[in-house]
Structure 1
Amino acid sequence: MNSQTSVSAADLTIAASRIKGVAARTPLIRSDRLDALTGASVFLKAECLQVTGSFKFRGAYNRLSALSDSERTAGVVAFSSGNHAQGVARAAKLLGIPAAIVMPSDAPDIKVRRTEADGAEIISYDRLSESREDIAARLSAERGATLVPSFDDPYIIAGQGTAGLEAREQLKDAGRAADMAVICCGGGGLSSGIALALPQADIVLAEPEGYADAGESMAAGAIQPVHNPGPTLLDALQTLKISPLTFGILSGRGARGVAVSDVDALRAMRFAMEDLKLVVEPGGAAALAALLTGGVQATGKTVLVTLSGGNVDPQLFARCLNAQPFF
């Protein structure tokens, strides 16, 4: 696999063999109420039930397990607001690899604590005034450690794509195939992986308002970075620019974007709690929110929706209980 330019469907199969028995095979969940509200047959991929609470563990374990012995000894460096951090920290712990994670000072406390609990070294930075990429690159160079990006890496994309492979198999067992996949999107690693796993499905990217760079890039036909984005509750998707690698995969599939507000993410979290009995974080609820608000028209279709993470501080989760319900 070319570490700079390419990811293939075959790479997803290899990744699936690496993570088998380590990552969870997460369920596809149905909701009669959701089908009635949307007019679609909706299947929710509950990656909030994945090891470390998000899909990020898939890509992290695939990347780290592919390292050579000398690379493992030198360790890894990653940067993340939390879910990738936890995925890398847990994978590193399981594989006996030293890990340093660059995390923003405003990262959710639950994500910081759990990253530390798996033995990773945390380096804090100011999200608005410092570059996490520059900090991580410097640390990697100083330590001779392997840099593990959260999405701009073929091994990461292939690992995330195993969620799509599983969903395809689960849908086949139910006598279905996905017409559409609505995917929570930050840098596009999960979206790209699922696009490779489901080559016949329409790909819809659910992003936070103010951070809809992937959708805007798809519409423009070129990468469009975010400018002056402001705050968002959907911290897991708070990415300023997708990479050429993820842009190439997603634009090649004709993906399009839908922006989701904080309020609608909270409403989707409430729906997931009340109807699905699942705890989902704001970023992990973006795809569900896009469907429930009507931002995605799916009448008559079989739709795969990602619930990509469930790592949310209790104080923030409590806010969804007061959000206006969708029914």
Structure 2
Amino acid sequence: MKPFSITLQDIIQAQKRIQPYIHHTPLEYSERFTQLYKSDIFLKLESLQVTGSFKARGSLNKLLTLNETERQLGVIAPSAGNHGIGLAYAARKLNVPAHVYLPKDADQSKIRALSNYGAQLSFFETIEDARIAAINTAHETGKTFLSAYNDPAIISAGGTVALEIIQDLADVDVVITCLGGGGLTAGICIALKSINPKIEVWAVEPKNSPSIATWHSEGKVSEVNLKSSIAEGLSGPIDPNTITFPIIHQYIDRILTVTEEEIVNAMKSMLDSQYIIEPSGVAGIATLSQCGDELKGRKVAIVVTGRNISWSRFLSIVNENRHNQ
């Protein structure tokens, strides 16, 4: 399937398919951010989605499109946490065996959630080691390998977030989302640009891991110097053959990067608003400190993608940042 053959109709069908299993998450008007940045800021709280992140959308859509033989064989996926949790939830709902390959330093709260949903777990040195092992096992066993982003079903499901935003705020001017492998961003781009090309889509990556930002700037896939980031769900190597990149490269209006300190400050800001959000979930919020002036007078929806972080890790990140200042 060519990446550009993913259509608005595919996204609408995905929404109908997964609707019985997910929440239409709130698009909450933020008085605090609106006053700070002199624009109408709305928070698309995918942190309140089932499993605590948007990821369940993609896994449900993928599993619901498998045939009976594929479901019986089961699915396998590498994950830093949220993709695996979404898959484990979908697999339990649909009675499909699921095996998740994790890095050994995965957040303990995510490991507990995976165990509670009944997924089989295996651990590896790094997320890249987990990815390679999962691909090899899928080839050997016939299980379906489920990428967190490089799959038309995942991209289509990502676009359902945009459909909900449009349903709740038809005159939105800018949608800002977090960018890792690009499944969510690519889906949002296709949905919004198909409905109204004037709606701007901005995506945000960690400065420590700016793969798609670099590729977009250079107009091609290239070598990128990657560093670790507290936003592990948005960092690390990306499949150079991913179908998300050409979609994003064609449709995105801006890609921004945020520092580790900006991510931590955004976590603190969300805590002030009574939300505990993981580092990967606040990238869109983090970018406000650098581009807030450009948003003045506009209606802005920011996708807050996930909340799955242990309290001990949350405190550790915030306290370490405070000591480094």
2:281/2:304 contact within 8 Å kept: yes
Change in Cα spacing, 1:124 to 1:6, as seen in structure 2 (3 Å) is farther
Alpha carbons of structure 1 residues 101 and 263: separation in structure 2 relative to 1, 3 Å: same
Q: 1:139 corresponds to which residue?
A: 137
Q: Which residue of 2 aligns with 1:10?
A: 9
- Quote the offset at 1:149 in angstroms: 0.4
Secondary structure of 1:20's partner? helix
Question: What do the CA deviations read for 1:40-84 (whole angstroms, capped 9, x no partner)?
Answer: 211110000001000000011000111100000000011110000
Q: Distance in 2 between the 1:132 and 1:225 partners?
A: 21
Q: Give yes or no for contact 2:92–2:118 (8 Å, CA) kept in 1.
A: yes
User: What is the CA-CA distance between 1:133 and the residue it aligns to?
Assistant: 2.9
User: Is 2:189 the counterpart of 1:189?
Assistant: no
What is the CA–CA distance in structure 1 between the aligned matches of 2:20 and 2:107, rounded to whole Å?
29
In structure 2, the CA distance between the partners of 1:241 and 1:255, relative to structure 1 (3 Å rule), is farther
Which of 224, 245, 248 matches 2:246? 248
TM-score, normalization: structure 2? 0.92
The answer for the alignment partner of 1:285 in structure 2 is 282
1:180–1:202: 8 Å Cα contact kept in structure 2?
yes
Tell me the alpha carbon deviations over residues 88-112 of structure 1, each in whole angstroms, 9 at most, x when there is no partner. 0110011000111111111111111
Amino acid at match of 1:308: T
- 2:69 paired residue number: 70
1:209-288 counterparts in 2 under 5 A?
A: 209-227=207-225, 229-241=226-238, 243-275=241-273, 277-288=274-285
| CA deviation profile, 1:13-51 (whole Å, cap 9, x unmatched) | 010011112111100011222112222211110000001
**Against the structure 1 CA distance between its residues 53 and 290, is the aligned structure 2 distance closer, same or farther, given a 3 Å change threshold?**
same
Match of 1:109 in 2: 108
> Match of 1:289, as an amino acid?
A
Question: Structure 1 stretch 250-259 or stretch 282-291: which is displaced more?
Answer: 250-259
User: Once superposed, what is the RMSD of the aligned Cα atoms?
Assistant: 1.9
Unaligned runs of 5+ in 1: none
**Residue identity opposite 2:83 in structure 1:** H
Mapped partners of 2:73, 2:252: distance in 1: 40
Provide structure 2 residue ranges, at least 5 long, that are not aligned to the other structure.
none
Distance, in Å, in 1 between the alignment partners of 2:147 and 2:14 is: 17
Residue 185 of structure 2 is aligned to residue 198 of structure 1:
no
Paired residues of 1:60 and 1:87 also in contact (CA < 8 A) = yes
Shift of 1:279: 1.6
Equivalent position SS for 1:107: coil
Letter in 1 for 2:131: E
Structure (1 or 2) with the greater helix fraction: 2
CA distance in 2, matches of 1:261, 1:234: 10
User: What is residue 160 of structure 2 aligned with on the other side?
Assistant: 162
Distance in 2 (CA, whole Å) between partners of 1:107 and 1:61 is 23
- CA distance 1:231–1:254, change in 2 (3 Å): closer
The answer to which of 4-13 and 54-63 deviates more is 4-13
Q: CA deviation at 1:293?
A: 3.7
The answer to whether the Cα contact below 8 Å between 2:47 and 2:304 also exists between their aligned partners in 1 is: yes
- Higher mean C-alpha displacement, 246-255 vs 143-152: 246-255
2:205 maps to amino acid:
E
Q: Is the 8 A contact 1:258 1:295 kept in 2?
A: no
Question: Relative to structure 1, is the Cα distance of residues 234 and 133 closer, same or farther in structure 2, using a 3 angstrom cutoff?
Answer: same
Q: Classify the secondary structure of the residue corresponding to 2:236.
A: coil
Structure 2 equivalent of residue 21 of structure 1: 20
User: One-letter code of the match for 2:135?
Assistant: A
Specify whether residues 256 and 216 from structure 1 end up closer, same or farther in structure 2 by C-alpha distance, changes over 3 A only: farther
Percent sequence identity is 32
The answer for the alignment partner of 1:54 in structure 2 is 53
1 CA distance for matches of 2:123 and 2:285?
A: 31
How much has 1:178 moved relative to structure 2?
2.1
